[in-house]
Structure formats: C-alpha cells, structure tokens
Amino acid sequence: MFSVTETEAAAIRRVFEEEGELSAVIELRRHFPGITDNAKARECARTIAGWKPALAVSRPVTRLQPGKRRSAG
C-alpha cells in the first residue's frame, strides 16, 4: 500500500494522456521505485490515470461570537 499526492497523480495522468500507458508506468516507478512488479505498476498507473482531481470545497465562515469584532492594533 502507498499513498499518492495530487501532484504525483497529476504527473502520472499527464504522461498517460500524452505518451501512453508504458510511459505512465515509467513515471509511476520514478515516483515509487519500490514498485517492482510490472503488472502491478501498469494496474496502478491505469487506476491513477482514471482519477479526477479532488474539488476544492468552499465552506461558509461561521462567526463564533456574532456582532463582536476584533480591534486592529
């Protein structure tokens, strides 16, 4: 088991889309040299290439003490 950052996933997706599966496997193994099984590396690259980037969720700001403001100073 390993975890993939959004930056690593984006790099693998970009290579997969631009250069194909084999290049994506090479990119994956560049980031994760511990993956030595080619079949597993191909499976992981295909899975990561299919991911969509996480959407940033904006949340409303809730004041803890409505009406009271902090003074600048």
- Whether 61 is in a domain gets the answer no
pLDDT above 90: percentage of residues in the chain: 63
Q: What's the pLDDT score for residue 65?
A: 73
- Whether 31 is in a domain gets the answer yes
Q: What is the pLDDT of residues 19-48, one digit of tens each?
A: 999 999 999 999 999 999 999 999 999 999
- Whether 34 is in a domain gets the answer yes
Average pLDDT over residues 39-63: 83
Please tell me the distance from the alpha carbon of residue 73 to that of residue 57, in angstroms, as a whole number: 32
Q: What's the pLDDT score for residue 2?
A: 84
Domain count, the chain: 1
Phi-psi region of 47 (alpha: psi -120 to 50; beta: other; left: phi over 0): alpha
- Whether 19 is in a domain gets the answer yes
Please tell me the distance from the alpha carbon of residue 11 to that of residue 28, in angstroms, as a whole number: 9
Radius of gyration of the chain (CA): 20
Mean pLDDT of the chain: 86
- For 35, the domain range is 6-50
Is pLDDT of 56 > 70? no
- Whether 58 is in a domain gets the answer no
